[in-house]
Amino acid sequence: MDVLSLVAGFLLGVVATYLVSAFLLKPGLQKASDTATGVIITGDTKNLFDQLWQAHEHLLNEMKQDLDNPDFKFHREFYVLKKNWWDWNRWGFHREGPCLAYFTDDHNDLLPLLDALTSHGLISQIGEADKKSAKFQLSEKLIELLHGKNPTKNTA
């Protein structure tokens, strides 16, 4: 094997890799990194989040407002609960200190949104879910996307 064929093979491989990545891969899969946090958000994730924001703006805006609250700035866990006509805090849900909680009775679209966020890795369910509650963890990616949204006035 001579040096010329080795160099030609190497250059052909580099050119082929460049052409495949430049023309065949989706443009949305090219990664953009936030310099402040180092969180990598792909274009597809941003497009998905924009679609979810349009469909579930009321709930996602509430999550954004909760995370903007200094009391919950570093909270990454939240609970999904069903309100009882008695007292949700007294029957079956006990936790010390403040927590983030969203109620299925207040948001009809809560469970489908959580399924979509879970399937795309923006939240994850932690612990076992029972009939009255479920516990989820927010990903840093979702928090970065929520912080990047412009605040809207709460209509409710």
pLDDT per position in the chain (156 positions), as tens?
688 888 888 888 888 777 766 666 544 444 444 444 444 455 677 788 888 888 888 889 999 999 999 988 888 999 888 876 455 554 455 566 788 889 888 888 888 899 988 988 899 999 777 767 888 999 999 999 998 876 555 544
Quick check: is 156 in a domain? Answer: no
Quick check: is 98 in a domain? Answer: yes
How far is residue 65's CA from residue 154's CA, in Å, rounded to a whole number?
Answer: 9
Quick check: is 87 in a domain? Answer: yes
pLDDT the model gives residue 82:
81
CB 153 within 8 A of CB 57: no
Quick check: is 154 in a domain? Answer: no
Do 26 and 37 lie in a common domain?
Answer: no
The residues pairing with 80 across neighbouring beta strands, listed in sequence order, are 102, 134
Do 90 and 39 lie in a common domain?
Answer: yes
The whole domain housing 142 covers 33-148
Question: Torsion angle, CA of 125/127/131/136, rounded to 10 degrees?
Answer: -30
Do 122 and 85 lie in a common domain?
Answer: yes
pLDDT the model gives residue 95:
63
How many domains is the chain built from?
Answer: 2
Q: Which pair of tokens denotes residue 92?
A: 């079956």
- CATH number of the domain within which 85 lies: 1.10.10
